[in-house]
Amino acid sequence: MATAERRGPNRETLNSALKWGVPLAGLAALLTIGISNNTCPSEGSIWLRYTIFGLRSGAIYAMIALGYTMVYGVLQLLNFAHSEIFMIGTFAGLYTIKSLFRVGPNAHLGPAFLVVVLAVAILFGALASGITAVVMERVAYRPLRKRGVSRLAYLITAIGVSLTLSNLFLLLDGKKHLGIPVAWPAIGGPAGVSYPPTIQHTPVFSVAGVPVDRPTFLVIAVAVAMLFVLDRFVHRTRTGQGIRAVAEDPETASLMGVNVDRIIVITFLVGGLMAGVAGVLYGVFFGQAQFNIGFVPGIKAFTAAVLGGIGNIRGAMLGGLLLGLIENYGVACIGAQWQEVFAFLVLVGVLMFRPSGLLGERVGG
């Protein structure tokens, strides 16, 4: 911290005591709680189980984090409404599943049909989120950008968008949870009807004796595929190059013939698509959606983006996975009621020890 301050040695000591002491004390307190509860599992297989859980939630955080980090990269905007984009993906996916699942007598559904339903749900969820993100940019953010208003005005607008979207879904769906059909095999289905076990909670394969069930496998596989595609997109295509250029320096990029407006729209679109896919996966996994479902994953995804280095796309992926792991190990050792706290402690820790994130705060890297 090379700030040019006039501080006496005493103040220096006090400041560094505060700076390092507070997080260390927090860590010590957490460890004490963990040790006194003595719930840290000793078996390796339990750790492995939590690792799989961690990768699963981490994959979802990573996909949401990409939207945050890309928008932050090009606009330096903390897009508060991104969690609502995620929420819309969940709703769109579950509505799609609900409507498609009514088609035809269930008894004749084969595994292929379920795969198609899932694929269509993911597609629709991604499209709904992507389109919402683009409309949001067009209606709410672009007018502000054209006038070059303050960043705080941006942020407040983002909060307004977030409120509007979540309350829109509160109206559409009420305060009840949108559940997916009881017959949906993920929840087991009513007795007596045999469903093709495409995404039942049955193990696909097991790692060292720990089973990986179908939804988990689905989440991780789809997420890895999406992350790979996105990485190629950003690094290997002209548009991706444009995104990196705008993130680096919008003015120079526009002088070089990059259409900045178009790139920004594409950034929102891509971020929205990823959040939509994540939303559908989240919805399929938990089997429900609610108007405020996006808040907690959204905040954690932002933490993941910062952990990896904001603006850094690979950093967001790494940060998401790491955050999922840390969180689940924390749950394993200390207790599930503190689950939401770990992410923030990690965030504070990262910001203190490595403010630019693990992979560094660059853009398009």
- Residue 258 or residue 280: which is nearer to other proteins going by CB? 258
* Shortest separation between residue 340's beta carbon and other proteins, angstroms: 6
Binding of residue 5 to other proteins (CB under 8 A): yes
Q: Using CB under 8 A, which of 278, 331, 347, 359 touches other proteins?
A: 347
Interface residues for other proteins in 92-151 (CB under 8 A)? 138-140, 142-144, 146-151
Binding of residue 299 to other proteins (CB under 8 A): yes
Binding of residue 29 to other proteins (CB under 8 A): no
Q: Which whole-number Å values give the CA distances from 344 to 105, 168, 194, 349, in the listed order?
A: 48, 29, 44, 8
Going by their DSSP bridges, the two strands 203-207 and 288-289 should be labelled as unpaired
Binding segment for other proteins among 4-12, 49-57, 109-117, 176-184 (CB under 8 A)? 4-12
Cβ(170)–Cβ(291) below 8 Å: yes
Binding of residue 280 to other proteins (CB under 8 A): no
Q: Using CB under 8 A, which of 35, 40, 103, 163 touches other proteins?
A: 163
Distance CA 212, CA 201 (A): 9
Binding of residue 152 to other proteins (CB under 8 A): yes
Binding of residue 312 to other proteins (CB under 8 A): no
Binding of residue 164 to other proteins (CB under 8 A): yes
* Shortest separation between residue 165's beta carbon and other proteins, angstroms: 8
Binding of residue 43 to other proteins (CB under 8 A): no
Binding of residue 72 to other proteins (CB under 8 A): yes
3-state secondary structure 108-145: HCCHHHHHHHHHHHHHHHHHHHHHHHHHHHHHHHHHHH
Residue 349's Cβ-count burial label (10 Å; 0-12, 13-18, 19+) is middle
* Shortest separation between residue 127's beta carbon and other proteins, angstroms: 22
* Shortest separation between residue 204's beta carbon and other proteins, angstroms: 34
Residue among 24, 23, 34, 30 at smallest CA distance from 332 = 34
Binding-residue pattern over the window 314 to 343 for other proteins, x denoting contact by CB under 8 A: -----------------------xx-xx-x
Distance CA 52, CA 219 (A): 11
Binding-residue pattern over the window 172 to 201 for other proteins, x denoting contact by CB under 8 A: --xx--------------------------
Going by their DSSP bridges, the two strands 288-289 and 178-179 should be labelled as antiparallel
Q: Looking at this protein, which amino acid is placed at residue 216?
A: T
* Shortest separation between residue 261's beta carbon and other proteins, angstroms: 7
Binding of residue 365 to other proteins (CB under 8 A): no
Percentage helix, strand, coil, to 5, in the chain?
Answer: 75, 5, 25
Binding segment for other proteins among 38-46, 177-185, 298-306, 325-333 (CB under 8 A)? 298-306
- Residue 172 or residue 225: which is nearer to other proteins going by CB? 172
Q: Between vectors from CA 136 to CA 132 and to CA 137, what angle results, nearest 5°?
A: 120
3-state secondary structure 230-295: HHHHHHHCHHHHHHHHHHHCHHHHHHCCCCHHHHHHHHHHHHHHHHHHHHHHHHHHHCEECCCCCH
Distance CA 297, CA 86 (A): 9
Binding of residue 12 to other proteins (CB under 8 A): no
Distance CA 80, CA 64 (A): 12
Centre a 10 Å sphere on the Cβ of residue 215 and count the other Cβ atoms it contains: 20
Binding segment for other proteins among 125-133, 155-163, 182-190, 210-218 (CB under 8 A)? 155-163
Centre a 10 Å sphere on the Cβ of residue 211 and count the other Cβ atoms it contains: 15
Q: Which residue has the tokens 């070059």?
A: 148
Summarize as ranges the residues that interact with other proteins (CB under 8 A): 1, 3-7, 11, 15, 18-20, 22-23, 72, 76, 78, 138-140, 142-144, 146-153, 155-157, 159-165, 167-168, 170-171, 174-175, 261, 295, 299, 302-303, 306, 310, 337-338, 340-341, 343-345, 347-348, 351-352, 355
